[in-house]
Structure 1
């Protein structure tokens, strides 16, 4: 599975040009706000574990709980990374379900990247409320995601055009696209069962991202009990939103 994980990382840079920089900023902010070395974090909507892998490398005494509903991405992540000598736990849960947090415990930080835009605004607000309850006092939520500008404006249109040009340059240079990566996953017999489960979750054509606005997210995080919310990094419509409990 390690080959699929590495190819996942490569194709993601087609869509998030400064992806490595985003992770550096996330962890720099985390280290400043939560300076204890033995941090426990929740990797929310973890996919194949991009955050967890990097977090555990950056914080060698840290521990991560990686949560997602996608059986394919979980199988790839767990197959490639394992449990990192007991420091990484994989959990399947659907963030759209109110009971998704179960008995996960408490955390110093909740981290997410390139994932929560799939949730409808009401579901996202619910996730933020639940996440706030999982954080210890002073804990932080850091969400690096596509947070759109107001639709219909010239500025959003300009950002979209720039982003599409970047993506095309990457693909022209030989990078694998999202669609090509998933097409190759479909050819892996060891993932057949997980792929069947994924198709039941999201029948063909049934899934599209929602992309809650920054204004909505500020309000939802404030209502969830976070005392300070702001953007610490932005590249076009890719932003890192930090909320302090």
Structure 2
């Protein structure tokens, strides 16, 4: 049974602020993502899959944009899933599944979705597994449905500028952390571990990810576009870009 989290809204706000220190234009990518959903949806209640959805960031924004949407959120982290459950309630189906395993789609309540959306999550997967996952996602979409992945995806035509942009962003982030304007990733998790309700879930998380996660792997957007073409999507392209981040889109 998922524990009751009375202050879930405060934790969501804390998560958003922590993430925005790393991703200042975070809301822009979500808007672009949901604009694309709006362009392809065929009904007032699109069926959406929030992949590696964490605390429910995308799901919450999708439901504000499309109140009648049928949303499924998938993640493996027990602490983040508890926050998602507390925030979303019965407005979404929450599923615990491991995207590193090929059988993860069997945990889903549906076999076809209008859109699969994910942000700043799949860079933990190695190249071979991510390529295969793209094929598995394709098989979950209805004809004309779309997949959007917003993540760290540098432009390989701008290597030196990208380095400078990343250095500038790091300076701004370090200043915000030093001033106490927001928590760092490690500080956020340390704080969650002090919360009586979240503490056992954070301990479960450490058991699942004893070394944190796999090392981050951030290929350029061109790699993702090629992998999506190889996975059999009809149209692929870059939906949005901000500095060293991008959102790639693939339409079935």
TM above 0.5: yes
Q: Does 1:7 align with 2:14?
A: yes
Structure 2 gap segments, 5+ residues each = 1-7
Partner of 1:209: 216
Q: 1:195 aligns with which of 202, 208, 223?
A: 202
Partner of 1:77: 84
Q: 1:155 aligns with which of 153, 158, 161?
A: 161
Q: Does 1:229 align with 2:236?
A: yes
Partner of 2:185: 178
Q: 1:175–1:196: structure 2 CA closer, same or farther, 3 Å change rule?
A: closer
- Aligned residue for 1:101, secondary structure, equals helix
Q: Does 1:92 align with 2:69?
A: no
- Aligned residue for 1:143, secondary structure, equals strand
Q: 2:38 aligns with which of 31, 34, 58?
A: 31
User: How far does the alpha carbon of each residue in 1:93-144 deviate from its partner, in whole angstroms, 9 at most, with x for none?
Assistant: 0100010111522100000011111111111111111100000000000111
Q: 1:152–1:108: structure 2 CA closer, same or farther, 3 Å change rule?
A: closer
Deviation at 1:230, TM superposition (A): 0.7
Partner of 2:145: 139
Q: Which moved more, 1:24-33 or 1:191-200?
A: 191-200
Partner of 2:5: none
Does the 8 Å contact 2:233/2:251 carry over to 1? yes
In 2: Cα distance, 1:72 partner to 1:205 partner = 14
Does the 8 Å contact 1:46/1:66 carry over to 2? yes
- Aligned residue for 2:198, secondary structure, equals helix
Structure 1 gap segments, 5+ residues each = none
Does the 8 Å contact 2:154/2:246 carry over to 1? no
Does the 8 Å contact 2:156/2:222 carry over to 1? no
Q: Does 1:66 align with 2:73?
A: yes
Deviation at 1:206, TM superposition (A): 5.5
Deviation at 1:210, TM superposition (A): 1.4
TM-score, length of structure 1 as denominator length: 0.92
Q: Does 1:218 align with 2:225?
A: yes
In 2: Cα distance, 1:80 partner to 1:36 partner = 25
User: How far does the alpha carbon of each residue in 1:200-222 deviate from its partner, in whole angstroms, 9 at most, with x for none?
Assistant: 22113553211233222112111
Task: Report the aligned-residue RMSD.
Answer: 1.9
